[in-house]
Amino acid sequence: MSFGFPWGLLALGALAPLVAAYFLRRRQKPVVVSALFLWRTPRPRAEAGPRFERFTREASLLLEALAVVAVALFLADVRLGETARTRHLVLVVDGSLSMSARGPDGVTVLEKARQEAARRVEEVDATLVTVLASGLAPRVLAGPEAEPSRALAALESFHAQGSDHDPMPTLIWAQELAGAARRVVFLTDVAPENAALVPESVRWMALGTGRDNVALVSAQRRDEGNTATVTLRVARFGAGPQEVEARVRAQPGPGAKQGTERVERVRLPDEGTATVRLTFQGAGEVEVSLPDDALPEDGRVRLPPAPLRPVAVGIAEGLAAPERQAVERFLAVAPEVEKGASTGETLLIGPRGTDARVTVGAAGTLRTFLGPFFSEKGHPLLDDVQLAGVRWTAGDNPPGRPLVTAGEAVLVSEEEGGRVHLNVDLTRSNVQRVTAWPVLLGNVVREARRTREGFPRRQLTLGEPLPVVTVPGARYTLVGPEGRRPVFGAGAVDLPPPSGPGRYVLERDGDEVDTAEVLALDARESDLRGRGAVDVAAREAGDDEEHGAPGRARWPLVLLLAALVADFYVTRRV
């Protein structure tokens, strides 16, 4: 037995007043008469006798209770045997942030999607419902094959805050989950770019409305010493206001007595973005908000303090004077670098032949090259390294994978463990005098920074993968708004993009290591101009849709009628 509409069982509540009325009537004082036979119609057949009469009330109660049960079963759409066949409906809800946009009536697209989902469930008369949320990683909100009421309840508590994504993988998955019935409804806010690419059993229902919107498209914060620098980029999508007020409120930091609030008037260009940079002294958490519009969520961010973590760089003993001077000249101007630190994470620069992370120097037969230089294309250490006009004197080839070569000479190489060898004799080269030198060392420092434990980036926007660096031998856990999840792998790991904004904490063996903030910002989601309403029917109908869904079972009505007739017979008048 199953129920198509379990709420109908609430009709069983009518049993309570029925039974109460029965007992109230029982307590009613009976009227004693001399001759009962004068009160009732003579019956042609023999009477059942007093025993039957005594149980008239009880029989009436039972019959009336049976009638109530029959009504409840009918309302609950009871199904037995063949009629208990399940009808499975898969609902896919767009989980992107634009679903939270308000229409002209103030109702969010997600709320319309909820209402439409309830209508679909009612129309299809679904007995089982699966609800998926599309996103970079599809999620199951209810089911698979949950009760309709539970599925709709799960949808009620869902918040669409994901990034822009391609819904096709989710729709294909939904089609597989739907099985033979092949009833899939995708609830979104935009028409399909190419309807032919939509899986054939998917009904695409767009419920959005084209709106103008002003949004933050990025927000960054840097904390150097006691100074926090907040950089905002504000964009206007559509014919919005020419100017908006950005309200920035800085909570007091650990040493500050009171916070700061500023209101910045931002002129918005017709195309492109406007950038605002603000600095605060002793600021704690910074809240930025734009005036409410069609999508208020993309106009608010919270930026927690993100103190700089300078890379500790040490110079090993034995480095020749020219190399030492060249390195120290770079370190003197390099940002976020702490020279001379000697912690375990120090980026050690030393002479060739040592176990320093970066070795500088040449040994063996020296050869000077003017070009051509061949670089490993796309290697991060060589980003923007231009060797044109460089005179490079190198010795014997260092170990490791060649990154820059000249003829058969290896000028720069990298070992498996990340050790970098600069095969250069700076007394005969001019590398240290061209821009390639600071750029190359800057890349080395950047890579060192990237391999530090924690989050390389503290503020991310929606849809960005979450990079994290872990140290081998430790157990890491990522704690976010969706709960805890272990982090597997050592070194630089790119975790999948978080499905929602919020604060993410990296824990090592239960201790907090680092935090990152995922901001509810996504320029593609903030652009609401192309949203609209459209209903694209599925190109292929499900199996039982061809035969038509069976209606409600009629036998409870027959039972109801029989119970009422019997009750009338039992309690009929004289």
Partner 1 sequence: MDEAAVARLVPGLALALPRVPHRGRVGEVRATSAGSSLELHDFRAYQPGDDLRQVDWNAVARTGDLILRIRQDEVSPRVEVVLDGSRSMALSPRKAACAREVALLAAEVAARQGLSPTLMVAGARPERAQGNACRAALQVAEFDARDDLSASLGRLPPLRPCGLRVVVSDFLFEADLPALCSRLSRGASGLFLAQVLDAEDLDPSGGEGARLVDAESGAALEELLTEDVLAAYSRRFAEHQRGLRAAAMRARGTLVTAPASESLAALVAGPLRPLFLAGGGA
Q: Which residues bind partner 1 (CB under 8 A)?
A: 25, 28, 30-40, 49-50, 53-54, 56-57, 60, 571, 573-574
Of 395, 442, 447, residue with least CA distance to 422:
395
Q: Is the CB of residue 105 less than 8 Å from the CB of residue 58?
A: no
Nearer to partner 1, 37 or 270 (CB): 37
556: burial class by Cβ within 10 Å (0-12, 13-18, 19+)? buried
Count of all residues that appear for the chain in the document: 574
- Cβ burial 295-322 (10 Å sphere, 16+ → b, else e): bbbbbbbbbbbbeebbbbbbbbeebbeb
Nearer to partner 1, 49 or 548 (CB): 49
Rounded CA separation 300/308 (Å): 24
For the CB of residue 18, give the shortest distance to partner 1 in the complex, in Å: 15
54 or 257: CB nearest partner 1: 54
In terms of C-beta density within 10 A (0-12 exposed, 13-18 middle, 19 or more buried), how is residue 381 classed?
buried
Are 301 and 276 in contact by the 8 Å Cβ rule? The answer is no
Distance of closest approach, residue 142 Cβ to partner 1, in angstroms: 51
Q: How far is the CB of 63 from partner 1 (least distance, A)?
A: 13
Q: Closer CB to partner 1, residue 27 or residue 554? A: 27
Tell the burial category of 258 from Cβ atoms under 10 Å away from its Cβ (0-12, 13-18, 19+). Answer: exposed
For 514: left if phi > 0, alpha if psi spans -120 to 50, otherwise beta; the answer is: beta
- CB closer to partner 1, 40 vs 475: 40
Work out the widest C-alpha separation in the chain, in whole angstroms. Answer: 137
The number of angstroms, rounded, from the C-alpha of 361 to the middle of its chain's C-alpha atoms is 49
Q: Is 479 exposed, middle or buried (0-12, 13-18, 19+ CB in 10 A)?
A: middle
We find the least distance from the C-beta atom of residue 109 to partner 1, in angstroms, to be 59
Between 50 and 496, name the residue whose CB sits nearer to partner 1. 50
Q: How far is the CB of 44 from partner 1 (least distance, A)?
A: 15
State in angstroms the smallest separation of the CB of 132 from partner 1: 58
Looking at beta carbons only, is 57 or 159 nearer to partner 1? 57
Name the H helices within 422-497: 436-450
Shortest Cβ distance from residue 37 to partner 1 (Å)?
A: 5
CB-based contacts of 28, cutoff 8 Å, min separation 6: none
Shortest reach from residue 69's CB to partner 1, in Å? 22
Give the nearer residue to partner 1 in terms of CB position, either 65 or 492.
Answer: 65
Q: How many CA atoms lie within 13 A of 320 on its CB side?
A: 14
Nearer to partner 1 (CB atom), residue 57 or residue 457:
57
State which residue, 62 or 533, has the beta carbon closest to partner 1: 62
Residue 334 structure tokens: 């390099």
Q: For residue 558, what is the enclosing H or E element?
A: helix 555-570
From 351, 327, 326, 350, select the one nearest 339 (Cα to Cα).
327
Residues 6+ apart with CB under 8 A from 21: none
Of 7 and 568, which CB lies nearer to partner 1 in the complex structure? Answer: 568
Helices (H), 293-356: 321-333
Cα–Cα distance, 180 to 487 (Å, whole number) = 38
Separation of alpha carbons 184 and 174, rounded Å? 7
Name the residue nearer to partner 1 (CB basis): 59 or 533: 59
Question: At its nearest, how many Å lie between partner 1 and the CB of residue 563?
Answer: 17
Minimum Å distance from CB 72 to partner 1?
26
Looking at the Cβ atoms of 54 and 377, the one nearer to partner 1 is 54
Q: Which is nearer to partner 1, 49 or 486 (CB)?
A: 49
From the list 506, 384, 385, 500, the residue with the least C-alpha distance to 457 is 506
Min separation Cβ 15 and partner 1, Å: 20
Own/partner pairs, 148-152, CB within 8 angstroms, 24+ separation: 148/121, 149/6, 149/7, 151/91, 151/121, 152/114, 152/117, 152/118, 152/121
Minimum separation from the CB atom of position 26 to partner 1 (A) = 9
Lay out the sheet containing 88-94: strands in order across.
Answer: 139-146, 128-134, 88-94, 184-188, 202-207, 533-536
Least Å from the CB of residue 50 to partner 1 = 4
CB of 21 to partner 1, least distance (A): 11
> DSSP for 159-190?
---B-----HHHHHHHHHHHTTS--EEEEESS
